[in-house]
Amino acid sequence: MPADSDFLGRGWSFPPAFDNGSASVETASGVEDIHQSLGIIFTTALGERIMNPTFGCNLETMLFEPLNTSTVAYIKNMIETAILYHEPRIDAESIDLQQDNAQGILFIEVNYKVRGTNSRFNFVYPFYINEASK
């Protein structure tokens, strides 16, 4: 990432990791920091963070739900709202859902634009709709 993207911020990598050589915390910056932030938002349940109970997306409530038109619209709305409130560095331009019935995965693709640079990127998150397996 070029140095002019420093305004996007730098934070701890997720999951947190430490550099063995210097005992320092590994960090993420730029678009990678945004992708990690989206992953955190998607995997956090509402109310899970005591000091910020409205943070998260609540996707786990959709486990085992039938993937019909109303469920797809509801999931898209949940994701769009979570991004709007919790990731101010980007504007979500489109959210697409692709289902893989064979593996029980719902691929969530977020096409977004970074507000400061108008650069476009995408983030694909694999949401496992059938968590239990035989």
**Alpha-carbon torsion angle 128, 36, 44, 74, nearest 10:** -60
* Reduced DSSP (H G I as helix, E B as strand, rest coil) percent helix, strand, coil of the chain, to 5: 30, 30, 40
Residue 1, pLDDT score? 42
Encoded tokens for 88: 């101010």
Cα separation, 30 vs 63, in Å, equals 31
Architecture of domain 3-128: Roll (3.10)
Q: Are 85 and 56 in contact (CB under 8 A)?
A: no
Residue 130, pLDDT score? 61
Measuring CA to CA, how many Å separate 52 from each of 48, 56, 98, 121? 8, 9, 31, 28
Residue 40, pLDDT score? 92
Residue 101, pLDDT score? 76
Residue 9, pLDDT score? 67
pLDDT one digit per residue (tens) for the chain, 134 residues: 444 455 566 676 777 777 777 778 777 778 888 999 999 999 999 999 999 999 999 999 998 888 889 999 999 999 999 999 999 999 999 999 998 877 788 999 999 999 988 899 999 999 886 655 44
Q: Judge if pTM exceeds 0.85.
A: no
